[in-house]
Structure 1
Amino acid sequence: MNDTLTARLAALGRFLPTLALGLAGGGLAYWLDVPLPWLLGAMFATTLASLAGARLRSPGRGRKGVLVVIGVMLGAAFTPEMSGDLPLWGASLSVMLLATALMMAFSVWFSRRVAGHSLDTALYAGVPGGVSAVTGMALDSGADLRVVGMTHAVRILVLLVAIPPVLQWVGHVSLQPTGMDLAQWLWLPAPGDAAWLAGAGVLGAWLGHRLRLPNALLFGPALVSAALHLTGLTHAAIPPTLIALAQVIIGVSVGVRFTGTSLAKVGHTLVMAMLQAVCLLGIAILAAWGIHAATGVSLPAALLAYMPGGAPELSLVALSLGIDPAFVTSHHLLRITVLILLMPVLLGACRRLGARSGRGPSDGPDPC
């Protein structure tokens, strides 16, 4: 017991310099009035430090705790008034699945024909979402884990960097940071509300694992919190300081993925991942524009919901900007669930096609 506690405290101590860098980057971005300051500031600071050779530490268990907090926050966005929007949600979810299929097909084609990766690598790197689950599944395959991890990391980085200019381009949303005084930053919920929120987090994390939900620590608490808020049992909100800290840790989590990356050695992988991410972003923009024109669904909400990957990051962006986080979260949950269920089937089908054409999973381009 003491050894475990000592090890955790030691891990926390090693992470503190990375957290301090993230807080400094977020604070600077906040001072400069950058959109999404705590998230983007922390992400830029740690990404640049990682690429410069700094050995930054991952949040580890800290990220797991933050996912629970984000899940509880997202659940609070579900209200009884949403029932009238369900037909629009159904149409949007259908379009999102079609766009996801197109993204997946393009990603695999691009990785095989343009980037020259193996079939396993192309499939796992091309999944538009669920990076944690996908990486775990890739461990038992012939995929190049470094390419898979870097492709997902670069995609999330590109998406988060693109959000402010793209949202400003489509309009309908203000990205100007809202200044808060000290009293607002120090606001805390009442003890009863805090108990509801904590209970939703603990019960949701347990339920997420029991139900084997994708990204259980995010979507489990979101479901329990949504149930509490939909039924009116609580209207509790998360303190702004906790929201800012969650953004910093998520930003740091993206940045530290580039630790140990040598631009000279992986330059080709980085360039291919960036090109693929930009193309997928284009597909998401077209799909969001289409559903907006056809049904009147909020264009910014559809855009965040259709973006390929980064459920915690994009849901947190929706929450921070007030862009229908319940809508965005529901889309990412469905996408990740469908992708994880279909991945074994898709991989088997592509391998069979490759075998018929006389190619193995590590060979060159094939019909898949």
Structure 2
Amino acid sequence: MNTPLTSRFIALCRFLPTLGLGLAGGAIAFQLNLPLPWLLGAMIATTIASLGGARLRSPGRGRKGVLVVIGVMLGSAFHQGLEIDVAAWSASLAIMLLATAVMMAFSVWFSRKIGGYSVETSLYAGVPGGVSAVTLMALESGADLRVVGMTHAVRILILLLAIPLALPLFGHVSMPENRTDIAHWLWLPGAMDTAWLVAAGLVGAWLGKRLRLPNALLFGPALASAALHLSGVSDAAVPPTLIALAQVLIGVSVGVRFTGTSLATVGHTLAMAVIQALGLLVIAGLAAWGAQQLAGISIAAALLAYMPGGAPELSLVALSLGIDPAFVTAHHLLRITLLVLCLPLLLKRLGQTVA
């Protein structure tokens, strides 16, 4: 009889080949000096393998741990010297909410009229974010879960692939070169700083669940870490090696979603998902341009903040590239919170309207 500990060990052993593939993909991308190498390299490698028929394993519980780490990292962006332009942030948040409504309307219309999906499938596949909550809600409806899941997975894939191309065009951002010096990768925080970071992760995860925050394992630690850093108790940073590993695991998490997907049998679904994702990227780009014109917001930060879905992925990108991660995280937290609170009523009303 397998004990819980034995089962977890077996699951870890089964995941190791997938992790190895992700690390190899990240290392190749790093050597090629690609932007966001550990994230994109792992994602591309596992996506190709999944579409090629490989039976890859999901990180499972490992992804939960990664979310906690990312949350702690995001919280460190809220330091004592952080200056927040309340008027600009408020205007940007309003623009983001308006853009989210436009994205939702476009996605539902496209899925229903162009994709030919049912009302339920169109609604759940069209929500621009909150994929975990959306999937759970879709389980209780007549929606096609394969279409819903694939649409959200393709959307995140397209958005992450578009980032290295879109940011230099829209935001005049120079992608940083990959650092190869050993000292950078071997750096570790001191014992006290490590203790503070671990405490922020554990307390934040507990607090996030008690407060029933959306994506509690991400935003709970982010809030705890933000309080820690804003108060000046600690200015601890997460080591680069751990950040790279988090990127690999997030990239793998995206890639393995395509396991069991046959291009021959789901070509229509994939095509519809790609076109829809590109349309949403255009809407996010226009909204980001509008935010820059109206509120003086950095168009690069606004683009990452307005992109639909993938809060852990996009917040991690903002942190990795140093593009106002506090701003980006705040926007995604507000959007996910409102989606979770309003989604049941919104889906019911939209269902009545479309029907």
Query: With structure 1 as the length reference, what TM-score do the two structures score?
Result: 0.94
What residue number does 1:45 align with? 45
CA distance in 1, matches of 2:294, 2:261: 44
What residue number does 1:97 align with? 97
What residue number does 1:206 align with? 206
What residue number does 2:243 align with? 243
| Cα distance, 1:56 vs structure 2 | 0.2
- What CA deviation, in whole Å up to 9, does each residue of 1:179-228 have, x standing for no partner? 13112101110010000000000011111111111111000000000011
- Tell me if 1:294 matches 2:285: no
What residue number does 2:14 align with? 14
Calculate the aligned-residue CA RMSD, in Å.
1.2
What residue number does 1:357 align with? none
CA distance in 2, matches of 1:126, 1:342: 14
- What CA deviation, in whole Å up to 9, does each residue of 1:271-314 have, x standing for no partner? 00000000000000000001111121111000000001100000
For residue 247 of structure 1, what is the amino acid of its counterpart? Q
What residue number does 2:303 align with? 303
What residue number does 1:162 align with? 162
Q: Which moved more, 1:336-345 or 1:66-75?
A: 336-345
| Cα distance, 1:86 vs structure 2 | 2.0
For residue 96 of structure 1, what is the amino acid of its counterpart? M
What residue number does 1:323 align with? 323
- Tell me if 1:196 matches 2:196: yes
**Kept in 2: contact 1:304–1:314 (CA 8 A):** yes
**Kept in 2: contact 1:33–1:176 (CA 8 A):** no
Q: 1:264 aligns to what SS in structure 2?
A: coil
CA distance in 2, matches of 1:249, 1:103: 28
What residue number does 2:72 align with? 72
Q: 1:265 aligns to what SS in structure 2?
A: coil
| Cα distance, 1:343 vs structure 2 | 1.1
**Kept in 1: contact 2:176–2:321 (CA 8 A):** no
- Tell me if 1:274 matches 2:271: no
What residue number does 1:348 align with? 348
CA distance in 2, matches of 1:256, 1:18: 9
CA distance in 2, matches of 1:253, 1:294: 37
Q: 1:175 aligns to what SS in structure 2?
A: coil
**Kept in 1: contact 2:18–2:57 (CA 8 A):** yes
What residue number does 1:180 align with? 180
For residue 228 of structure 2, what is the amino acid of its counterpart? L
| Cα distance, 1:130 vs structure 2 | 1.2
What residue number does 1:4 align with? 4
**Kept in 1: contact 2:171–2:298 (CA 8 A):** no
Q: 1:70 aligns to what SS in structure 2?
A: helix
- What CA deviation, in whole Å up to 9, does each residue of 1:109-133 have, x standing for no partner? 1111110111111111111111112
- Tell me if 1:334 matches 2:334: yes
Q: Which moved more, 1:76-85 or 1:183-192?
A: 76-85
In structure 2, stretches of 5+ residues that fail to align are: none
Q: 2:133 aligns to what SS in structure 1?
A: helix
**Kept in 1: contact 2:30–2:178 (CA 8 A):** no
| Cα distance, 1:141 vs structure 2 | 1.1
| Cα distance, 1:83 vs structure 2 | 4.5
- What CA deviation, in whole Å up to 9, does each residue of 1:155-182 have, x standing for no partner? 0000000000111112432213231311
| Cα distance, 1:79 vs structure 2 | 2.1
Q: 2:81 aligns to what SS in structure 1?
A: helix
CA distance in 1, matches of 2:286, 2:130: 22
Q: Which moved more, 1:134-143 or 1:254-263?
A: 134-143
| Cα distance, 1:80 vs structure 2 | 3.0
CA distance in 1, matches of 2:348, 2:290: 33
CA distance in 1, matches of 2:80, 2:104: 35
- What CA deviation, in whole Å up to 9, does each residue of 1:133-169 have, x standing for no partner? 2111111111111000000000000000000011111
What residue number does 2:258 align with? 258
**Kept in 2: contact 1:36–1:177 (CA 8 A):** no
CA distance in 2, matches of 1:126, 1:350: 11
In structure 1, stretches of 5+ residues that fail to align are: 355-365
**Kept in 1: contact 2:72–2:197 (CA 8 A):** yes
CA distance in 2, matches of 1:2, 1:157: 36
**Kept in 2: contact 1:74–1:222 (CA 8 A):** yes
Q: 1:226 aligns to what SS in structure 2?
A: helix
- What CA deviation, in whole Å up to 9, does each residue of 1:222-271 have, x standing for no partner? 00000111111110000000000000000000000000001111100000
| Cα distance, 1:82 vs structure 2 | 3.2
| Cα distance, 1:2 vs structure 2 | 7.0
Query: With structure 2 as the length reference, what TM-score do the two structures score?
Result: 0.98
CA distance in 2, matches of 1:353, 1:295: 34
